[in-house]
Structure 1
Amino acid sequence: LNPGLVGLSVSYALQVTMALNWMVRMMSDLESNIVAVERVKEYSKTETEAPWVVEGSRPPEGWPPHGEVEFRDYSVRYRPGLDLVLKKLSVHVRGGEKVGIVGRTGAGKSSMTLCLFRILEAAEGEIRIDGLNVADIGLHDLRSQLTIIPQDPILFSGTLRMNLDPFSNYSEEDIWQALELAHLHMFVRAQPAGLDFLCSEGGENLSVGQRQLVCLAR
């Protein structure tokens, strides 16, 4: 064989191998990146939530004054086509009343909380807080007046003051009053920085109970 032809054949063979490696790598990248396209397509078809504020149907200032919650023949499902997770539920909780809801896994305990915040919209019935139908008001007006303390409370990296009043809506006296009502004021006063005590990401430098009390005060 001609040595030049052999060298040319080997050179082209190496180039083909490199091209095949590049093609396999590009196919792998395409398969990984197409997931992002699928997510964008999914989000583009996701229904938007209800209006943030409904002008002309805003709750009165100071609402809710009593905290009376009533479910009236309330039914809800997680999405169209699925079975109801709550069916014709009627519950009346008076203001200031402490109520425990118990049940097996999947009975709908957490779903009731999601319904209060209108994360799940009603299939039938209504929820009234101090006589006001929550479906008639905007999501901001509703959710800004409710609070929830999860089993794993979430705190942000920053000062305790920022975690208690992230939008700077309240005076320092109001913050201390909230801490006293949550029985957390002794801990805060014992810190050299006071309200400027730095919370680590997720509140890891606080116990779970203290994190829950911070959420309660907030």
Structure 2
Amino acid sequence: MASETRSYLLGRFYRTFAIELQRLDHIARAPVLSHLAETQAGLSVVRAYGHQKRFFATLLQCVDLHLLTSLVYESGQRWLGIALDYLGAVIVFVSSVSAVTVAVTSRERVPSALIGLAINYTLLIPTYLVWVVRSLSVVEMYMCAVERVHKYTMLKAEDYRKKALVAPDWPRQGKIEFIGASVGYSVALVGRSGSGKSTLAMALFQMSDLLEGVIRIDGMDLKSVPLHSIRSQVALIPQEPLLFSGTVRSNLDPKFDIQDEEIWRALELVQMKEYIKKLGKGLESEVQEGGDNFSPTSSLDAETERKVQAIVWKAFEKSTVITIAHQLTTVLDYDQLLADRRDSLLGRPHSPPLRCPYD
């Protein structure tokens, strides 16, 4: 009974620090993978500016930290193995001495074969003891992932406001109003990094909570509109291209509720129809993870920028368009320009709708 108590205490002590070390190992591994992915994505830029040594030194620092946690974890496993072996040796010694003592002092003769069998089974105890303790420890350590998922499930979900009513054809006019809206810092569309351009777009999709003020579309406060209606009726073209592994159709129509003709019409509008046809399988053509076989990029040359702007003018001719730009040439032909100046918005006076300059 005493040996079982000792083995339980050893296992409990080991599991306590092993679980935390496993957690640290996962935390230390993430920077290594992230740095490798970032370096691979910007390898040409790193070489162009001659920063190979700096990136290699950063990688070594991340690897050293990860190996440090792995070393401590492996050392803990070796310690457990040695401790359980010593405990098993003590159990075998005590069992052997007890068996011989009983055989010598007993009035009835105990067969030597029975004593040998008892000692033989006792020799198996250390092996099974190590196996049981390590198995329990491994199960608890791998439950760390389940624990993290459980924590995510406990996070407060967004209020989708499903009970709110909105017209099926909302919005009709596309009139967007930001009335005293504040999301923590200055709001702008044209401004330097950190001025609030992207945050303004996130607030429009109700992904950033307003500290004060309201945002209205066609006179309706977005706080009273279901999130599904907002995010299905308002479109967002992100700065960074985002493609998932699958097919062209699954990327363009995840719910598979759009007719082929509409998808081909959209591809033709963005000048991708012929390219998709050349892939051989049309809409069922494979898309690799991250769109590697399409070579997407957020950096555009002058000619590509001109084509993109022409597509925007043509596709969204009857829509309200808010553009977050990093180049002045992108927004020079827009009706309204907003700029960040000391926590306030400066705008160019509204002018009559402009004719598409790319015709």
Q: TM-score range by the shorter chain?
A: 0.5 to 0.7
Aligned to 1:63: 171
User: How many angstroms apart in 1 are the aligned matches of 2:264 and 2:190?
Assistant: 29
- Which of 46, 49, 53 pairs up with 2:155? 46
Deviation of 1:208 (Å): 0.3
**Do structure 1's residue 102 and structure 2's residue 192 form an aligned pair?**
yes
d(CA) in 2 for partners of 1:48, 1:187: 41
**Separation of aligned partners in 2, 1:119 and 1:7:** 71
Measured after TM superposition, the shift of residue 26 of structure 1 is 0.8
Higher relative contact order, structure no. (Cα contacts within 8 Å, ≥ 6 residues apart): 1
Overall identity of the aligned pairs, in %: 25
Residue type of the alignment partner of 2:129:
A
Which position in structure 2 is the counterpart of 1:141? 229
Listed one character per residue, the Cα deviations across residues 113-139 of structure 1 (whole Å, up to 9, x for unaligned) are 332222233232222234432211001
- Measured after TM superposition, the shift of residue 12 of structure 1 is 1.3
8 Å CA contact 2:246, 2:287 repeated in 1: yes
Matched with 2:179 is 72
Query: What is the identity, as a one-letter code, of the residue corresponding to 1:151?
Result: E
Is residue 211 of structure 2 the alignment partner of residue 123 of structure 1? yes
1:81-100 pair list within 5 angstroms: 86-87=184-185, 89=186, 99-100=189-190
The TM-score with structure 1 as length reference comes to 0.64
**Matched letter for residue 181 of structure 2:** Y
Q: TM-score, normalised by structure 2?
A: 0.43
Q: 1:38-91 deviations in whole A, cap 9, x for unaligned?
A: 542x245322211253443x145152543x544333334xxxxxxxxx24x456
Q: 2:181 aligns to what SS in structure 1?
A: strand
Mark the structure with the bigger radius of gyration: 2
Amino acid at match of 1:117: F
Q: What letter is aligned with 1:149?
A: P
Q: Distance in 2 between matches of 1:191 and 1:11?
A: 67
Shift in CA distance, 178/20, structure 1 to aligned 2, threshold 3 Å: closer
Aligned residues: 191
Contact 2:243 2:287 in 1 (8 A): no
Does residue 1:179 correspond to 2:288, yes or no?
Answer: no
1:112 to 197, 200, 208: 200
> Which residue pairs with 1:79 in the alignment?
none
State the 1:184 CA deviation: 2.5
Residue identity opposite 1:74 in structure 2: A
Q: CA RMSD in A?
A: 3.7
* Equivalent residue in structure 1 for 2:243, among 138, 154, 157: 154
In structure 2, C-alpha distance between the alignment counterparts of 1:189 and 1:44, rounded to whole Å: 42
Normalized per residue, the structure richer in strand is: 1
The within-5 A match list for 1:204-215 is 204-209=292-297
CA distance in structure 2 between the aligned counterparts of 1:115 and 1:70, rounded to whole angstroms: 12
